[in-house]
Structures are given as structure tokens and as C-alpha cells.
Structure 1
Amino acid sequence: MSTRHLTSLSPFTTLSKQPLFPFPTSLNLFSRFPLSSPNYSSFSASVSASSMASEAKKVLVPIANGTEPMEAVITIDVLRRAGAEVTVASVEKGLQVDACHSVKIVADALINDCSQMVFDLISLPGGMPGASTLKDSATLKSMVEKQAAEGRLHAAICAAPAVALGSWGLLKGLKATCYPSFMEQLSSSATAVESRVQQDGTVVTSRGPGTAMEYSVTLVEQLYGKEKADGVAGPLITRSNHEDEYLIRELNSMQWTFIDCPQILVPIADGSEEMEAVIIIDVLRRAKAKVVVASVGEKLEILASRNVKLVADMHLDDAAQSSYDLIVLPGGLGGAQAFAASEKLVEMLKKQRESNKPYGAICASPALVFEPHGLLKGKKATAFPAMCNKLSDPSEIENRVVVDGNLITSRGPGTSMEFALAIVEKFFGRQKAIELAKVMLFVNP
């Protein structure tokens, strides 16, 4: 048995400790928004008369072809968890965009449909050429300029601070950060700093995919206050101390093998946790694995747990015609329930186990899919904290990632990056995983 770990993270910086907007009281997310509660609506022509709707902050997240999917989806997911009314707007001609790493996202609206709306926050994801397309959108430029002029919160991550906000002249005299390769460009339009997250006045900037969770929680704090931000971060199982090394618990070590490149199946369904799915897909495709995203439902488009619309590559029945070096399940209550009810998927997983080939799951899926179908028999595993009482062997549940031979499990959205990197490490080696973690800014470059 061994405990392995990667290099450490540096702390992120937020200049202002005071929220930009008042927040009356903290809410317990589990009591008010339990796992079984309906998802938030992301775009609506009318405003609900309920007190929740009246308290909700309005947020715009524009996306384009070439947008970094982790940065977009993590931001949307976290802000919706906080109760924000998030509109995902395409700056392309259609609603569906082809994000980086062949992740397909369907927006709620076109940017021109949002031009007359007032938002408490506009947050720009990075990724290239997505950030350039955002910059070239006259409608978006006008909206963000008005946002700045009226003193409302605006933010950007990765390439977008330099490529969009900086080029629009919105960072003059401000401290800002961005992806390392764009720092020189940023320095011509702002005081460039290397903070993981930087807030200066009504502007928040951040560095890349590996800082997106911290960035998103900071946006919650600016909209709703620190107490609410802490309440959102807790259930995410975010890392509390970014100076500590993150750990991978491995038992019964075995070599994971493949021919040419790993063939990996990632099933998705209505109710799948979008952060977990997108992080897994994105990271594994960065590592040059061949990832097939398969819909367990009737349609290729699925509505994830926080109303993000993702499009699969194919249906599960078609994906089942091939064999895989790894089958890995994202969590999300509705998605896990759909997986458990899919005879085809359960059959594939059982064959994977019988063949001693790798399989894995995160969040609710170890407890709701693997445990009832005997896929954890004789294995150590972890799961989302609220689901761990369903595991017959809870001896390793406190670990963020557990590898037991050909099985890998993890806890939740905030452990998804470590989970994906552990898979990379098992297939490609520790050095490859560390290099990838540095590129994504999950660890110091």
C-alpha cells in the first residue's frame, strides 16, 4: 500500500476582503438545495416571484468555438450552486459551440438576445481561439464596457484577461493575472501579477483551468459574501490549503496497459455532474487519450445536474461495439441513477471487471452504480461524503482519490482534477501527470 502525491499549489490572492454586493444571510446548501432538488433554470424570459428568484444575482457567461470547457463549465456550475441565475450565451451563429478538446456545449441564448439585459456579473472563460472570438464580438464588448462603466462586476480567466479585457482597455491601472503565455500581452494593458486569482475593484481575473474552481468561488464571494462562498465550497470538496501536496491513495498496485493510446469511455446522462464529466474528458484528451463520450439516454444532448447542456459523441449502444482500456463514470445524482438503471452499461462494467481491465467512478457513482452491482466487492473505494454510508467497506473513504488495482474512485467536483490526473499517471506515468498539472496551472509551472 502506498500514498503518492504530486507537487504543491501556491495560495491565491484576493485584494478586497469585502463583497461588492450585500448578502443578507448564509444558507445551508444541503438543507435548502438537497441533492434531489430540481435544477436551477439557466435562462428564462420571465422572473419568478419567489424570494429565491428575487435574491438571485444575474450572471452572463459567453462561450464560443474554442472556449476552454473547464473554465466555462466550472464557473457556470459553481455560480448556479450559489443560486445565481446564469445565462450561457453563444457568440457564434448557433447555440451549440465546439469548445476545446472536442467538448460540445449548447448555450441557453445567443449573445444578441442578451444585449439589453443587466447582469450583476459577466465572466469570460479563456481558451483559444475562443477568447479571440469573444474579443471580436461587438455586442459582448459593448456589454462589458457598460458593465465596467456602471461599476458592476466583470471577470475573465486564462487568455481572456489579456486578449479581451486588456485589449478593450478595461484593465488600465489595475492588477490582473492571466495564463502565463499571455502575461507579456497583459503587461501592456494592466499591472500583471502571478496570483492564482486576482481581484482589483470590480474586476476579477485568474490564470487557467487549474485555478477555475478558486476563481468561481471568489466570484460567489463577490456576489454573495464570504459565508455563502464557504458554504458552496464545502460540498464541492475543494482543497482548503493550496500549499499542501495533493494525495493519491494506491493499494494493490498494478500496471494499466494499452495499445497505441488508451481507449476510454465516459458515459453521460441527464443529471450527470457537468464539472466532473468535463474535467475528466478535457484532462484525458489533453493527455492524448482517445475519449469516447457516450449518452446513456435517447438523445445525444443531455441536461446535466446544473442545467449545462452537453452533447455526447455517440449513443451507448454504438459505443458498446468497441472495447475500452478504461470505463469511467462521472457523478451527479440523476446521472448515477441513470447509469445504475442501464443494463447495457452495467453489463459493460461487469465485463471490464471480469477482464481485470480498469474502471472507475466519482462522487455518487461508486455508491449508486458500483456498490449495488457488486463492482466494489473485495475493493477499497471512496465516494461523495453523503453517499459513503452506502459503501460496504468505508475504510478508505476519507481519501480524495483511491486506486485499488484496476479500480479508481474519487469524492466529488473538487477532487475531479486529482482523479483525472491519477488516471493520466496510471496510463502514462507520474512525470506526464505532473507536466499536465503544470500546464493547466493546477500546480506551479
Structure 2
Amino acid sequence: MAAQASPPTKKVLVPIVAGTEPVEAAVPIDVLRRAGADVTVASADDGELVVEVMYGVRIVADALVAGGDCAAAHFDLIVLPGGVPGAANLGGCAALEAMVRRHAAAGGLYAAICAAPPLALASWGMLNGLKATAHPLFVDKFPPEVAAVDASVVVDASAVTSRGPATSTEFALALVEQLYSKNKAEQIAKEMLVRYDAGYTIDEVNSVQWKCNGTPKVLVPVANGTEEMELITIIDVLRRADADVVVASAENAGVEIVARHGMRIVADTTLDEAAADDQTSSFDLIILPASSKHELSLSKPILI
């Protein structure tokens, strides 16, 4: 009896641009790659593979949106992250608009989060007659042809929309369900320890009061194999809180690292340089994002 052929790998495009919200890009990339999808991160910045998104995070794209290989490729899903001005920048990318239109006309799934549903998809007329959601600050940007819905994730026809960074995981799991199955989404959620029971409490065994003088200085060491979702979320949230976050590569080859699920990220400096710099070598907090595939060791002590 002949062996049953494996189903074809699902192909996903995630375009990024200057001003993209990093969590809204990193979480779908991470979750979809966990599910087995072949995810291409494509830069919509003219000719630039290294894209500086919001909060100073630098991501190395796999391809260019306007590049021949990317433009001609077939995708099962195209996911637009939000961000300011990232969503508007994506909406203004003619090459991306043409690609998404062709994709949708062929029956492909397309998705957007945060400001991207109104500022990109809706601006192209691709949510007309559908229900959709967006970040509360951008819901009023939907045209009358779109039925705005107050929900974390909305699936209507071939379009999936969501609200913002905090709903990125739910959004990504919904994409897994649409591409694969509900069972697959539940499996990934379980592996990620995603909890749906909002309102749970945590009892601290050894309560610690954190203090620092002035702007908190935070060191985040990274290396090849670092879990990108953990890394990007840490950087994003702390920089939103105005912390001085230094992302330092522990790799000898330089500041670019390849994260656990293939996302390429450019650190601010190397770990040795961070330790040697008198201005930054004293930190209020050191955070080690991790994964099951690597262990990060500090090559020299860093004073806290």
C-alpha cells in the first residue's frame, strides 16, 4: 500500500514596514511557524530588508514585497500587522495592495490587526459588506460599507481582523484554525500555556518591591534560538513604559540573531559591549527570554 502523501505546506506572507507594531508581527509569525506554516516576512520599505519597526526594534525581512519572487509567489494567507504609522504605510504600498487583491480574488485568506483593518484592508475596499474589528482608536476609520464589531477577533468570509497587541495571540490562533483546524489551534494554545480564563489571580510567595532611581535601565540578552514572541513582547511593553531597554547579542558573529522560529532580529549592541560601557553596564533589571532550544550564558558578569 502506497504511503499517503503529506499535505502541502501552508504558505503565509507577513509584510512589515517602518512603524509596524512589533508584537502584532512577531506573534503571528511565531504561532504560525509553530503550526508548521512556511512564513515569509516581507519588507514593504523600498529596497530595505532591515526594517526598524516601532519601539526601535529592527527586524530582518526574508524578502521584499516588491521583489519578483515575493510578488509572483502563491500564499494561503496574508497577514497585515498594525502600528502607527505602520498600518498606513502598508495601506499606501501599491505593490502590496495589488498582491492582496490578486490573493483575495483567488479565494485566499487575508487578515489584519489593530489599525491595519481600516487603514489598509478597508481603504482598499476589501472589507466592504463584511464584519470587522480594529483598535478602538481606529474603529471610526471604517467606511460605512464595513460593519464594525466590538470583539477581539472577527472572522467573516475570507477576512480575519483583530484589535491590537493584547489580542495578537488570540488572532494568531484564529489564523491557525482557519488554515488548519480548531484542534491544531487548541494544540498550539496548550503548548504555549495560553489561558482563556481572564480574571485569574496570582498569590506571591515571596513578595518583592522593585525600586529604581530615574529611568529604569533594562538589559535583554539574546542569542540564536531566543523565543521571538517572548523577546519582542518584553521589548515592546517596557519601551512603551519608557524604560531604557538595551537588547544585547551574545553571539560572537555580531548583532543579528536568528530566533527560535526563524525570525531575524538585530540587537542594539553585543553583550560584551554592553558590559564594557560604563554608561549602560549598571542595570535595574536583566531579563532572559528563553526557549527549549538554547541556553543563554553571560560571558562576563554585569552589575545590577
Query: TM-score range with shorter-chain normalisation?
Result: over 0.9
2:95 corresponds in structure 1 to 139
For the Cα contact (< 8 Å) 2:161–2:171, is it kept in 1?
A: yes
Residues 69-218 of structure 1 correspond to what in structure 2 (within 5 A)? 69-92=22-45, 93-113=47-67, 114-218=70-174
Could you say what the CA RMSD is over the residues aligned between the two structures, in angstroms?
Answer: 1.5
Does the 8 A contact of 1:156 with 1:204 survive in 2? yes
Q: Distance in 2 between matches of 1:226 and 1:307?
A: 25
Tell me if structure 2 keeps the 8 A contact 1:57–1:120.
yes
Matching residue's letter, 1:331: A
Contact 2:272 2:299 in 1 (8 A): no
Corresponding residue of 1:252: 206
Residue deviations 1:25-57, cap 9 Å, x none?
A: xxxxxxxxxxxxxxxxxxxxxxxxx966x5310
Counterpart of 1:312 in structure 2 is 267
1:189 deviates by 4.0
Residue 167 of structure 1: SS of its match in structure 2?
helix
1:53-68 pair list within 5 angstroms: 54-68=7-21
1:189 to 1:267, Cα distance in 2 relative to 1, 3 A: farther
Aligned-pair CA distance for 1:333: 2.7
Equivalent AA in structure 1 for residue 262 of structure 2: N
Q: Which residue pairs with 2:230 in the alignment?
A: 276
- Cα distance, 1:151 vs structure 2: 1.6
Partner SS for 1:61: strand
Q: Quote the offset at 1:149 in angstroms.
A: 1.5
Partner Cα separation in structure 2 for residue 116 and residue 95 of structure 1: 18
CA shift for structure 1 position 224: 0.4
Does the alignment pair 1:329 with 2:278? no
Indicate the residue corresponding to 2:258 in structure 1.
303
CA contact (8 A) 2:24 2:168 kept: yes
TM-score normalised by structure 2 residue count: 0.93
Measure the CA separation in 2 of the matches of 1:309 and 1:69: 13
User: How many matched pairs?
Assistant: 293
Q: Distance in 1 between matches of 2:5 and 2:255?
A: 35
The 5 A counterparts of 1:341-352 are 342-344=298-300, 347-348=301-302, 352=304
Q: CA deviation at 1:228?
A: 0.9
Amino acid in structure 2 at the alignment position of 1:325: D
Match of 2:218 in 1: 264
Write the letter of the residue equivalent to 2:59. I
Unpaired segments of 5 or more residues in structure 1? Answer: 1-49, 353-445
Following superposition, the deviation at residue 152 of structure 1 comes to 1.1
Bigger shift: residues 89-98 or 184-193: 184-193
Q: Which amino acid aligns with 1:327?
A: I
Residue 257 of structure 2: SS of its match in structure 1?
A: strand
Structure 1 residues 376-395: aligned runs within 5 Å:
none
Q: Would the aligned equivalents of 1:270 and 1:334 in 2 still touch at CA under 8 Å?
A: no
Distance in 1 of aligned mates of 2:261 and 2:274: 25
Question: Are 2:179 and 1:223 aligned?
Answer: yes
Q: Which residue of 2 aligns with 1:425?
A: none
Q: Quick one: which amino acid aligns to residue 136 of structure 2?
A: P
Q: What do residues 420-443 of structure 1 show as CA deviations (whole Å, max 9, x unaligned)?
A: xxxxxxxxxxxxxxxxxxxxxxxx
Unaligned 5+ runs, structure 2: none
Three-state SS of the structure 1 residue aligned to 2:179 is helix
**Alpha carbons 1:167, 1:189 under 8 Å: kept:** no
How far apart are the structure 2 equivalents of 1:194 and 1:235?
28
Look up the equivalent residue of 1:310 and give its one-letter code: I
Q: TM-score, normalised by structure 1?
A: 0.64
CA contact (8 A) 1:90 1:110 kept: yes
* TM superposition shift of 1:246: 3.8
8 Å CA contact 2:55–2:239 kept in 1: the answer is: yes
Matched AA of 1:213: T
Q: Which amino acid aligns with 1:56?
A: T
Deviation sequence 1:375-415 (CA, Å, 0-9, x none): xxxxxxxxxxxxxxxxxxxxxxxxxxxxxxxxxxxxxxxxx
Q: CA offset at residue 247 of structure 1? A: 3.0
Counterpart of 1:320 in structure 2: which amino acid?
A: A
Matches of residues 29-44 of structure 1 in structure 2 within 5 Å? none
1:256-294 Cα shifts (integer Å, max 9, x gaps): 111111100001100000000000010000011111100
Task: Tell me the amino acid that sits aligned with residue 283 of structure 2.
Answer: Y
Summarize the Cα distance change of 1:89–1:51 in structure 2 as closer, same or farther, 3 Å threshold: farther
The alignment-based identity, stated in percent, is 51
For residues 262 and 248 of structure 1, the distance between their equivalents in structure 2, rounded to whole angstroms, comes to: 24
